[in-house]
Every structure is written in C-alpha cells, then in structure tokens.
Structure 1
Amino acid sequence: MNSTLLLCFPHSGAGPSFFMPWKSLAPTGLDIAPVGLPGREKRFAEPPLNRVADVVEDVLPWVREQVAGYGGVALFGHSLGAVLAFEMAGRLAAETTIPLRGLFVSGSAGPASRHGLEATGLPDAEFLDHVERAVGYRHPAFDNPAMRGMLLPTLRADIEMHERYRPSAGSSLDIPITAIRGSDDQLIAAERLAEWRDCTTDDFHTACLPGGHMYLVDSPTALLGLIDGRLRDGSNPLGSPSGR
C-alpha cells in the first residue's frame, strides 16, 4: 500500500485512545496506529512496566504486524513516548525489511539527558501536584477518587520509567528526526529539544507549535500537517532546519 503508517507512542499515563481522534484528522495517505501499553485501556489487567526496554520488547510483535505491507513507516512520541519511539525505531532499523521514513519526537529532551521531574516515590497528592506543575496539564480522571486509585499505578510506573531511562548503546539512527515542542513549554527548552540532533546521521529539524508542554491536546491538526509535510517532501512549514 502507498500510505505511510504512523506509530504513535503515548505520554505518561495515557493510552491509545488519546490518538484515536487523529485517525479522522490525519491527511490522506497517513494512517494512524496508536500503540497500546500494558496497564491501560484494553490491557488494563496487565501490570504496567517501568523499563523502556521491557516496553519495546512487549509491543514489538504487535508493531511488526502493523507495519507489514506498508511502503513507509514513521514513529511519533510525546515526552515518555518520544524515548519509546526512539528505542523502537532502533529495533526496527535493525530489521532491514521495514522501511523507516522518519522519527518525530515531541516535548522531550534528547535521550542522553536526565528526566528531571523527580516525582518517583512521592505521596499520591504531592505526586499528582508535582506532575501537574511540571507538564501544565492534569487529566480530569485523577480528580475522581475511584478513577485515581485505578490510574495512579500506571502513571507512577510511567514516570519511574522516564526518570530511570538511559539510551541503548550505539543507538544513533540513520533516519530523519524532527523534534517538536510547544512555544510556551516550560519543561523542555529549545536547547534541550535540539539535543536530538546527536541521535541521527540523517537530516534533523526542530519545529515549534503554539501552546505549552501539552500543546498537542489543542493542536493535533497542525501537528499532523507538520508530520505529513515532512514525510511527503521534506518541507518544514512550521519549524527550523538544523540539518547536518
């Protein structure tokens, strides 16, 4: 098939349903494949994982099934999802039958940087307040005591996973990377976003969209247009080139 498949990796605490509206918003020729992780939504009964390497191994068989038959595959991830997408791209790049057209990392410093949230181990209320202050967003479900009790273990596992993450050895890629942030993001500054430059021997671009750390909640159409433009012809209508 001629379409490009975009594998979408969720941010901390989120599940594949976050990306479901993207299916109808995506430009023609860009197919959205939300990645489901243990501990959430259809996989709620499974214990959440707290190591990036374990998540990659867990979802790799499903990813192989999804990409079969596509003429091009790209990966997107926001915050924690960015490092998950990066590590998955490394695994897929080793499987030479799978064509990778680009990696899109959002709201994340380069993988060599420490994730400085420092929320692991805090009491529940303090933990949630800490996360909310850092990312500028709090899902309404966490204000419901019953829902909070069900969702907190997964969010805690995700935050711990991000804080303890270290990139795989020799994990530089040979595919284009576009790094994206919200213009008012107080968590990831422009210079930290640019650290992704060291993760590819191919083209590198940065891009900025209106909003804070969770800009993609309000601007999915603009984000999908940016991704589609980069995949189609290498244009970067909303960003700045930083190629090698």
Structure 2
Amino acid sequence: MGKIKLICLAYAGGSASVYIPWNKMISSKVDLVPIEYPGRGKRAKEPLCQSIDEIVDAVYQSVISELDVEDDYILYGHSMGSLVAYELAYKLIDNGYKKALHLIFSGGKAPQRRIKKKDDHKLPLELFEDFVLQYGGKYTDQIFANEELKKYFIPILRADIKIVEEYIYQKPPYLLEPNVSILIGEDDESTTWDDIKDWNYVTKGDCQYYYFKGGHFFIQELPDQVMKEINNIVDSIETVKSI
C-alpha cells in the first residue's frame, strides 16, 4: 500500500517552504507534498494570481503532477490555503480523482463566512503593513524591517489578500464527503466561532475542531503539536482502512 500524500497549501504571502520543517515530524506513512503558488519560491518568475479561480487552477496543475488518479491523499491548507484547499477538493473530484481521505482546514473562516467584500489589499503602504502585522507571524516584523524583502513580499501579500477579499461563495452542487478537521489558534482574533463553525456544513462526513494555544500563526508557534494532531488523523484513517 502506497503512502498517503499530504498536500499542503500555504497562507497569504507564504510559499511551499513553510512546510519543509514538517518533514522531520511527519508520520512514515505520509509523503509531504507542499505546493508552490505562482509568483514565489521556485515559481517566482511567474505572474501572481489575482483570483480564486486562477490560484486553484495553478495549484491543481501542480497537484496532478504529483498525484495519480488512484493515490490516497489528504488536503491541508492554512488561512488562505484553507480556502484554496476547499475549492481544490471539488476540482479534483470533478476531474476524475478520488475524493480526499480527509480534509484539514487550519486558521481560516469557512467559505460561507467569506461574504463581505473588503479592500484592505488596496491600503496605502503604511496602513497595509499595519493590517498585515496584526495577524502576527514568525518573520513578518523582519520582512517589513528589510527594504529588499518588503519590496519582494508586499506585492505577493496584496495579491493573495485580494484573492481572499474578493472571493464570492457559491453554493456547490453537492457536499464534500470526507471527514474534516478544523485547526484553530485560541488567541486568533481574525476568526470567531461563527466563522469556523460553518465548516461543519461543507461535508457529509464528521467535523472535529482542535484548538491550539497561539494566534493566527499557531502552526509556526507549535509545529510539533500541529504535526502530532495530523499524525493522529493519519493513524485514525489507517485504522479505519484496515477494518
């Protein structure tokens, strides 16, 4: 039996590299597959995506280069990545791939809650920096303190936040079926219970909520605890499959 592929999608401004440290902690039953968005990392020369359709299409092309039709996989996304993962789950099924064994949505509002159009991505530079800094992040202060890094990351952040802010939820023709796990930071002020409870309604499967001590970027603050939970999810899947 082949390994389960854990397809990981980053937050706004993030790249595939944010998940590389997980390789040291992940279950031997899993292949980690961090997906790079256009405009950063190894895809830095490609134009940035400007809409949810563009980024999901780009991610889909990357995923199918790593995934055979019959491969078992889990989708994981943090913050913006949770929204991309949600839309990707449908695109994979609609194109003949197996449904995911499990869906893990982390640090993000349910798609039904993303209904208020905002324009924070258009804020003047100083105000935009303040807006981004309120979410925290392990390296955000360092990035904004370095002019070269700031020049590189600001366009990426603006494009990614634009995708999230201009997302329009459309009721899908069918519900997803896999069990869903929601990971959330106890001190994440960007999401409320009302924002995350609606993840329960995206699937016919079970939906479990897991809280971690930390803010929006608890996955950076507590990677060992996050990976422990993900490894437990993998073990539970393996147990069910063996019955």
Structure 1 residues 50-104: Cα deviation after superposition (integer angstroms, max 9, x where no partner): 2111111112122112122764200111110000011111111224443410110
Looking at structure 2, the residues matched to 231 and 33 of structure 1 have their Cα atoms a distance apart, in angstroms, of 15
Structure 1 residues 31-66: Cα deviation after superposition (integer angstroms, max 9, x where no partner): 211110111111111111121111111121221121
Contact 1:4–1:70, Cα closer than 8 Å, also in 2: no
Q: How high is the sequence identity, in percent, across the aligned residues? A: 26
Unaligned runs of 5+ residues in structure 2 are: 239-243
Contact 1:182–1:208, Cα closer than 8 Å, also in 2: yes
Q: CA deviation at 1:224?
A: 1.6
Counterpart residue number, 2:76: 76
Q: 1:149 aligns with which of 148, 151, 171?
A: 151
Q: 2:204 aligns with which of 184, 188, 201?
A: 201
Looking at structure 1, the residues matched to 169 and 54 of structure 2 have their Cα atoms a distance apart, in angstroms, of 13
Q: CA deviation at 1:139?
A: 4.8
Contact 2:82–2:106, Cα closer than 8 Å, also in 1: yes
- Residue identity in the other structure for 1:167: Y
SS in 1 for 2:61: helix
Bigger drift between 107-116 and 82-91 goes to 107-116
Structure with a larger share of its residues in helix = 2
2:132 is the counterpart of 1:104: no
Counterpart residue number, 2:226: 223
SS in 2 for 1:60: helix
Q: Under a length normalisation based on structure 2, what TM-score does the superposition of the two structures give?
A: 0.89
Q: Under a length normalisation based on structure 1, what TM-score does the superposition of the two structures give?
A: 0.89
Counterpart residue number, 1:238: none
Looking at structure 1, the residues matched to 72 and 175 of structure 2 have their Cα atoms a distance apart, in angstroms, of 20
Which stretches of structure 1, 4 residues or longer, exceed 3 Å deviation after superposition?
Answer: 115-118
Unaligned runs of 5+ residues in structure 1 are: 236-244
- Residue identity in the other structure for 1:128: E
Looking at structure 2, the residues matched to 175 and 86 of structure 1 have their Cα atoms a distance apart, in angstroms, of 12
Looking at structure 1, the residues matched to 144 and 163 of structure 2 have their Cα atoms a distance apart, in angstroms, of 20
Looking at structure 1, the residues matched to 5 and 54 of structure 2 have their Cα atoms a distance apart, in angstroms, of 23
- Number of equivalences: 234
Contact 1:7–1:76, Cα closer than 8 Å, also in 2: yes
Contact 1:184–1:210, Cα closer than 8 Å, also in 2: yes
